[in-house]
Structure 1
């Protein structure tokens, strides 16, 4: 009996100790002190509730990690991991302070997060900045902080750079994958060879560079997005002790932010408004292939608005022709004619000249001279044989930029891009004269361009001549699409034979011309097993080229409504308008009365194959749908604003949105697109083409087409993406289509009833309401009331922006019968590029 009493007293004392220990933690939830430990599901929360620290398992991983994440977001957003390379397998890990060090204990494993040798009263506190700080309490001295051991996330107040005295480096490294925070393939760090800029490394190879820090604009030269400086205060510090970059948020900005080294190789600045639970990308780099270091090699230019992206500079040719034919341009270009000074061994300003290039980003690795005149800058490059180019900025003190050796990562921008610069490239005088002569000849020839039919006959005859001469026609033979009167012309000189492209006209686009036999072989003689779907213009097949690349082959029916006009439109537009959210045209075939277009293959086919399929709808969660919506909007903004010609698609719908393997959307089918030149913004047409349910009222009834026609179609598509329902059909009553049903719910303040049932348990009501509001703004009856696509994207992504109330949509109370779609494709096949052509009499 005494033994039982003793045991009971011992148990009671232990329970009291545990209760007291829990009370201590509860009283100071942001701090852990000596003698305490953080175990299991216990967490520390910063005093303002911004961040939380504890143990977690990423995804469905069984490993345990000590991490810091945002407290307010629904999905855990981890910003720091204490044991990224030392995962724990125990189910009961613990964090404690051992002497003056933080240690993670897991079974028999003890992992030292910090390594100090002081003594005294020590505590660790999680701050509202996201920094976990180990301090000596008596002096307040910081012994260690998580900001000194960054993972993949750069928070305001952190440093990126290095300590000159200790050699400490602050750098970011991507996760290995979404469930493994160990070291990944990509890292962001200061460039030790040029310590005023940063580089992304893929392994040990340079992948991207920020360009040097510009003291005038307080930004890095290759990150123009940093100039949108209404949220961030950037600083670049260089002193005898340290070189580092840091940033903070202006006190007036009610937003959380983080910069992440993504495992895809892109750095992303993400913002989280105070009223939101969803992050949106403020900017990302590299933006596309042209931003990747040395993507096109030396002495070349890269343009994301053309295909191929890469072309040699005027006066240069591919260094390896066969590699360029295989789209491997990394070897770059070499001079056609050697510089005079290279031949003579000294600078010779009389024999070498400079070619002016406008609307470019500056190549990498230049030297800068301050307080110099323009003529002196040119002279400095002329007299130096190793100098290959110069640029002059007359503002301020007058900056002279000089390049020596190879020119790398020069990007060609559009004429209206505000970030464009002018550079002067050194060429042999004879080469410059040749280039000017060719350009003059081209201008004269193009001024007398013949009609489309004649030019097409020229192509056909030229192709037949080549076929007789060579015995067969292969995919390396090319046609050139001239940007004059939207005509198609053929080139038969040596350059076109090689299939490289016109080196003297940046507006020209090369497009491979495939032989019918090669297309037949790629599609296994157009077998039904390769058939992806069939639309109003003809079937689409999956093909495999000799190099193993998969393609989509669109074979226009000989009875198709898409004739030569539509073929010209689609070929011209997709070949020239290159954007990540537009489908890419790889070539065409014009043999045997065939009209065949070869596109990049999209493994997930079209949006409608997911959206309106009961079995697949659940694969489209809200994040994926929002990503698709933003991509479509970006593609339309490019067509409406940033392409050289203003373009209205006229047939935007779910079946014309293709999805790649990562569910990135790409707008397809440009056969019905309308082009505007100069300052044109709208036009009248008697040929009403498009798809029932997506046409704007002014276009369907009056033949008036403008960019607002696409905005209307986008609004319809957005409602379909939100609801998972087609616009045509019955909704609650027999007198309304989807627009009318959405408007009725909006009027009754029950708009969330529109949301697809598979999204019912998703906690994004605020974003869903915003998207419904924007969709209704897009489908308003009067075109002038609708926003532009730029405004649409801003309203969708900026949650701080107050949205206007929409007016009643067009066609919202027109009775719609559910018109059965014609059996254009087999039930077990997906719809790809199907186009319904309607001809409506204007009233």
Structure 2
């Protein structure tokens, strides 16, 4: 009994020590480094830091991955300079710099901290953020360095996507070169802060897709309000002030894992971990259809996936290159039928349920009303459109466009937002007259269509009735043919069997 009790105590102590060791292995210090084969585990157990070789690659990289799925790497330190063997060592210097050394103690990668600390340590947070800080410092603003400032292909919760305008630091997501090579790929997901900021996917310096600008609830490329999104565990925030411009999302439940990735093909995807199946489920994909390709229809045109062809010139505009437009090449876009007069005679045509145009050549003001916004646009010859900056509470703020309107998309009723496009007064008159004519004409068209349909139905019914009656009459005559066809109606005599037998000598063949 005593032996069993001792065994139980030893087992308990062993389990306790194991748990204690695990919970404290989230930090390295000047006296405790980390070698290839060892890992750091965040305090809550969500993430691990260690060395790995992706896919078929033989190179060794220092990276962070999910504990529930060690093959899902979310950050790589030495993505451009892999180690050739398993001799890598991660250390923290006296100056508070994180360094990765190879077998010859040469620095392969290091953090770039500009400040120092008296007692520097590096800690893996349960958010997946690897930080360098001074001792027990908990304020992120005072961290010496953090991996969240240098994302790779994964955009994690609590990570900022955007700009620190004070230091000039840009935080952006960049794709891997391939699934076996974490080096910098061709595509990146950024916040373009020219004009009013918008989220874009770029290839090199060229925009290939745009999620649009932030309208207070969501990016304008998404037609639905944020509160109706299928996953209520996600909380979104867009910050725009003199010091910062960034987009961030958070998870309301720590037990939930969700991430955005930019794959080597430049496709942005959101994936959610499903505990029951131990796998990642695709929740959404950006660039899921052709209308999400940047400026696919060119200037002054809209894209609509529910019609064919999907590109159409806006009202009052015609294709710039009609031959190419009709052949399905829409990039040249459209031009105005009637040039703007640049006077008070110009007006605005309202579009509803659209993704707002590219905002890189726009101007905004958070405080003025939509009416004041209209006046500002009308008084500036270069202004081509205006809209509310924020759609919450009935709409606030002002957003003005200057130059061509590019990358507009139409959504089904109930989605998108309002956009007011500047038009010449004479063009507006023509559009209004055409609209009134169509409204007046519509009841007549409906009446004529209904009458023709009813008349056609009656004619077809009458034809079918007469045909059916004729067929029925023919059927009765066939049944009475023994009486009518062989009797007086045909003018033939009726002979009995005795007369026929006598005439043929009882049907003798010889007589025939």
Alpha-carbon distance, 1:81 to partner: 0.2
Structure showing greater Rg: 2
Judge conservation of contact 2:260–2:269 (CA < 8 Å) in 1.
Answer: yes
The Cα of 1:175 is off from its aligned counterpart by 1.1
Paired residues of 1:121 and 1:138 also in contact (CA < 8 A)? no
Offset from partner CA, 1:758-778 (integer Å, 9 cap, x none) = xxxxxxxxxxxxxxxxxxxxx
2:238 maps to 236
Aligned residues of 1:359 and 1:420 also touching (Cα < 8 A): yes
User: Which of the residues 47, 61, 80 maps onto 1:85?
Assistant: 80
Judged with a 3 Å threshold, the aligned counterparts in structure 2 of structure 1 residues 333 and 47 are, in CA distance, closer, same or farther, namely same
Equivalenced residues, count: 416
Q: Hey, what's the Cα distance between the residues in 2 that align with 1:224 and 1:106?
A: 50
How many angstroms apart in 2 are the aligned matches of 1:186 and 1:451? 59
Between 153-162 and 114-123, the greater mean CA deviation after superposition:
114-123
- Contact in 1 for aligned 2:120/2:133 (Cα 8 Å): yes
Give the TM-score, by structure 1 length. 0.45
Q: 1:431 to 1:110 in 2, by over 3 A?
A: same
Q: In structure 1, what is the Cα distance between the partners aligned to 2:38 and 2:386?
A: 61
Moved over 6 A (4+): 24-27, 138-141, 444-447, 449-452
Q: 2:432, 2:165 → 1: CA distance? A: 52
Alignment of 1:292-311 (within 5 A): 292-311=293-312
Could you tell which deviates more after superposition, 206-215 or 54-63?
Answer: 206-215
Q: Which residue of 2 aligns with 1:289?
A: 290
The SS at the match of 1:290 is helix
Q: Is the 8 A contact 2:24 2:43 kept in 1?
A: no
1:111 aligned to 2:108? yes
Which secondary structure does the structure 1 equivalent of 2:212 belong to? coil
User: 5 Å matches for 1:88-99?
Assistant: 88-99=83-94
Separation in 2 of the partners of 1:35 and 1:395? 56
Cα shift readout 1:295-321 (whole Å, capped 9, x = no counterpart)? 211100100112322111122111123
Matches of 1:294 and 1:146 in 2, distance apart? 34
Equivalent position of 2:251 in the other structure: 249
User: How far is the alpha carbon of 1:79 from its aligned partner?
Assistant: 0.6
Does the CA-based 8 Å contact 2:186-2:203 persist in structure 1? Answer: yes
Distance 1:42 1:398, change over 3 A: closer
Gaps of 5+ in 1: 1-21, 453-843
- Give the whole-Å Cα distance in 2 for the aligned partners of 1:399 and 1:242: 19
Does the alignment pair 1:423 with 2:415?
A: no
Q: Which has the higher strand share?
A: 2
Deviations for 1:466-505, whole angstroms, at most 9, x for unmatched residues? xxxxxxxxxxxxxxxxxxxxxxxxxxxxxxxxxxxxxxxx
Q: 2:405 aligns with which of 387, 407, 413?
A: 407
Question: RCO greater where, 1 or 2, for CA within 8 Å and sep 6 or more?
Answer: 2
Q: Give, in whole Å, the separation in 2 of the partners of 1:446 and 1:208.
A: 42
Alpha-carbon contact 1:195-1:243 (below 8 Å) kept: no
In structure 2, the CA distance between the partners of 1:46 and 1:201, relative to structure 1 (3 Å rule), is same
Partners of 1:304 and 1:275 in 2: CA distance: 35
Query: What are the superposed Cα offsets for residues 197-256 of structure 1, whole Å, 9 maximum, x if unpaired?
Result: 3332221012333433334x3x333345644372123333345543333332224x7411
- The 3 A distance-change label for structure 1 pair 421 and 241 is closer
CA displacement at 1:291 relative to structure 2: 2.5
Aligned with 1:173: secondary structure?
A: strand
Q: 1:89 to 1:195 in 2, by over 3 A?
A: farther
Contact persistence 2:234–2:249 (CA under 8 A)? yes
Q: Is the 8 A contact 1:387 1:404 kept in 2?
A: yes
Distance in 2 (CA, whole Å) between partners of 1:264 and 1:446 is 50
Give runs of aligned pairs for residues 202-281 of structure 1, distance below 5 A.
202-215=203-216, 217=217, 219-224=218-223, 226-227=226-227, 228=229, 230-251=232-253, 254-281=255-282
Do 2:209 and 2:287's aligned partners in 1 also have CA atoms closer than 8 Å? yes
Q: Secondary structure at the match of 1:87?
A: coil
Deviation at 1:36, TM superposition (A): 3.9
Q: Which runs of 5+ in 2 are unaligned?
A: 1-17, 453-512
What is the alpha-carbon distance in structure 2 between the residues aligned to residue 97 and residue 378 of structure 1? 57
Aligned CA-pair RMSD:
3.5
What is the correspondence of 1:511-550 to structure 2 with a 5 Å cutoff?
Answer: none
